Amino acid sequence: MTLFDFGVFPTQTFHLLAATEGTMWHSLADILILLATAIVLGTLAEQLRQSAILGYIAAGTLVGPNLLGWVADRQSIFDLAELGVALLLFAIGLEFSLPRLKRLGRIPLVAGILQIILTLLGGLSVSLLLSFSFPEALAIGAMIALSSTACVVRMLNDRAELDAPHGRTALGILLVQDMAVIPLMLIITALVGKGSAGEIAIQLSISFLLAVVFVAVFYGLFNFILPRLLELSSLRRNRDFPILLAMVMAAGSAWAAHRLGLSPALGAFVAGVLLAISPFATQIRADVQPLKTVLVTLFFSAVGMFGDLNWAVQHLGLVLAVVAAIITGKLLITFGAAWFCGQPWQFALGTGLCLAQVGEFSFVLATVARGTADAPGILSETTFRLIISSTIATLLLTPYLIQLAPVAANLLRQLWDRQPAENESRSPHVDVTDLESSRETNDDLVLILGFGPAGQRVAGELLQVGLKKIVVVDLNHENLRMAEQYGLRSQLGDATQIEVLEHAGLYRSRLVIMTLPSPTVCRQIIYLVRQMSPATTLYVRCRYHLHHWQLLAAGADVIVDEEEHVGECLAKHILDSPLLLQQLLKSNQKPEAGQSPDQT
């Protein structure tokens, strides 16, 4: 017997409580299963010193419809996870201001166009030799031509190689590939029978005009309207508003690009680049970081769901042959295109290794080319499974290929050095260690977190003794303007967020000075600094003596206790006043009642 049998909890009550039962909760369950499995396998991959991306993809394959079947609706999850790619590109775009984007030069643009054309023609030719029909061969070439923006950018960013020569070229080529998604999609749609050549030309012209409109609108929004919004006092007082605004800008730019028929990821990147010139870029990137992390993880898990492990094992030889052909062909084509455009061969090799995989947008092209049960497309079921399996395999190999770039470039340089000296004039020697990182090596940076009166006094004293490599981090616009008057680099941001500290240069700093009044905020920052840069020295302001030992236990090296300091200063001022001190001493030497002056 239960309480329901006695009528204590009527069943109708629980039907009312379950009124929100719907597909959303089923989708949420699928997402939770994917993320939980991704945490487990991603952690296992990290323990084995592999990329967590491998664990995320393996998680999707494990719980997907082709293995355990715990999560079946892969398409809806993949659609949601595409927003993660857009947020990733938006955050990367915030690092690339327009001047910095111009510094990429013509090499990525020309090399990207050459890489797409040559890879498409190569895939088409090989497929025709293998007796595929022309439409199917063209679809295969289009899918192979694209590389993985999400995987490559994530890996390069984690390895701090995004600004290295091969990283910049790889990013530029990926952006060209993202732009090529639209014409490739239109071509495959026409091959399936849903459009003609004239309609494709019209759609391309409309897409170009809409892209110009998109850039113009967002340029005006981010340069004239947004700065006034972010300077409102209500936004400065309540941290919720800037976070919400950041999410609206990041997701809104992707949605606007999608509605205009453009690539959402490319649209988000362009919006990020346009926003990068504002002082709010670092804080906005930090605000979108949590959702970006969740959705990017979900994206790689959704990619893994497309894999059919049983089919891949049954056709293992065929899959391995296709994977080897794709990696070798794309490596050689990308290397040749980058080298032909003037990039030194060491960096061209690194670029080729970074892009020697098939990208996430190939899943979209493959789905369109496959068609539906009611309206079959140009791609057979066997070819579809082969492309999907090969794509996932290349994505799994991508972290190793990117890690291999410096080693392979060293080996190639050693072989090159054995050639006659006249060959050196064609390809000048470049130190391959530049491939590993392009970060600054000096470690004399001083970070001042908080630039109120205390921070300004500290900066003034440091400037007087010749310390000029100072970066100020503050959320108050007026304080940042004051820092600029001091001639210091300043950054708008919340120092309790890792992204803000990284961008400010924590890894290159020798000293961090915290003048913030809140002990809770100071403890959070101390934990972050100790986690990210243990060797950095921490000087921390302590407003009340009560919190002195808490900050010391958190990891601060030097505590400036305001109450102790005030006491010391007051005592010093008293001791430095001879007249007052003499009067006090005389008053203390007066005889007590019942004593004679001689006894005193």
- Which pLDDT value is given to residue 118? 95
Q: 391-425 pLDDT, tens per residue?
A: 989 988 998 898 887 677 667 666 766 654 444 44
Buried b (16+ CB within 10 A) or exposed e, 238-277: eeeebbebbbebbbbbbbbbbebebbbbbbbbbbbbbbbe
Q: Is the pLDDT of residue 600 over 50?
A: no
Tokens of 330: 């794309």
pLDDT at 472 over 80: yes
Domain ranges of the chain: 25-417, 445-581
pLDDT of 97 reads: 65
pLDDT at residue 513 is higher than 90 = yes
* Burial class of residue 353 (count of CB atoms within 10 Å of its CB; 0-12, 13-18, 19+): buried
In this structure, of 398-402, 488-492, 496-500, the range with the lowest mean pLDDT score is 496-500
What φ, ψ does residue 27 adopt, rounded to 5°?
-65, -40
Q: By mean pLDDT, which of 10-14, 112-116, 143-147, 393-397 is the weakest?
A: 10-14
Is 538 within 8 Å of 527 (Cβ atoms)? no
DSSP code per residue over 77-119: HHHHHHHHHHHHHHHHHTT--HHHHHTT-HHHHHHHHHHHHHH
d(CA 419, CA 426): 12
pLDDT tens digits along 332-341:
999 999 999 8
CATH of 25-417, one of 3.30.365.10, 1.20.1530.20, 3.20.20.30, 3.30.200.20: 1.20.1530.20
- What integer pLDDT is reported at residue 333 of this predicted model? 95
Length of the chain in terms of residues written: 600
Query: Is residue 81 a contact partner of residue 60, using CB atoms and an 8 Å limit?
Result: no
Q: DSSP states of 341-384 as a string?
A: TT--HHHHHHHHHHT-S--THHHHHHHHHHB-SSSB-SS-HHHH
Residue 155 has pLDDT above 50, yes or no: yes
The pLDDT score that the predictor gives to residue 4 is 46
pLDDT in tens, 207-249: 788 888 888 888 888 778 877 776 676 666 676 777 787 888 8
Average confidence (pLDDT) over 359-376: 77
Q: How far apart are CA 173 and CA 113, in angstroms?
A: 8
**Which pLDDT tens digit goes with each residue over 190-208?**
777 666 667 767 877 887 8
- pLDDT at 268 > cutoff 60: yes
* Tokens at 322, concatenated: 């296709």
Measure the CA–CA gap between 439 and 161, rounded to whole angstroms: 8
Model pLDDT, residue 71: 85
Predicted confidence band of residue 141 (pLDDT cuts 50, 70, 90): very high
25-417 and 445-581 in the same fold: no
Res 598 pLDDT > 60: no
pLDDT value at 120 more than 50:
yes
Over range 565-571, report the average pLDDT: 86
The DSSP symbol for 429 reads -
Give yes or no for a contact between 444 and 537, defined as CB atoms under 8 angstroms apart.
no
pLDDT at 154 over 50: yes
Pairwise CA distance, residues 382 & 311, whole Å: 10
* Residue that wins the pLDDT comparison between 158 and 382: 382
Phi-psi region of 375 (alpha: psi -120 to 50; beta: other; left: phi over 0): beta
User: What is the side-by-side strand order in the sheet with 489-492?
Assistant: 489-492, 470-474, 445-449, 509-514, 537-542, 558-561
pLDDT score recorded for residue 432: 40
- Whether 594 shows a pLDDT value over 50: the answer reads yes
Where does the pLDDT of residue 124 fall: very low under 50, low under 70, confident under 90, or very high at 90 and above?
very high
**What DSSP assignment string belongs to 545-566?**
GGGHHHHHHHT-SEEEEHHHHH
3-state secondary structure of 395: helix
> CA 260, CA 220: separation in Å to the nearest integer?
18
**Average predicted confidence (pLDDT) for the chain:** 80
Q: Which fold has domain 445-581?
A: Rossmann fold (3.40.50)
User: Which of 243, 128, 109 lies closest to 180 in space, CA to CA?
Assistant: 109
Measured distance CA(514)–CA(449) in Å, rounded? 5
Helix (H) or strand (E) holding 447: strand 445-449
Give residue 447's pLDDT. 93
| Residue 490 token pair | 């300043």
pLDDT band at residue 101, thresholds of 50, 70 and 90?
Answer: low
**pLDDT of 14:** 46
| Sign of the CA dihedral with 481 first, then 487, 491, and 496 last | negative
Quote the CA–CA distance of 535 and 511 in Å, as a whole number.
9
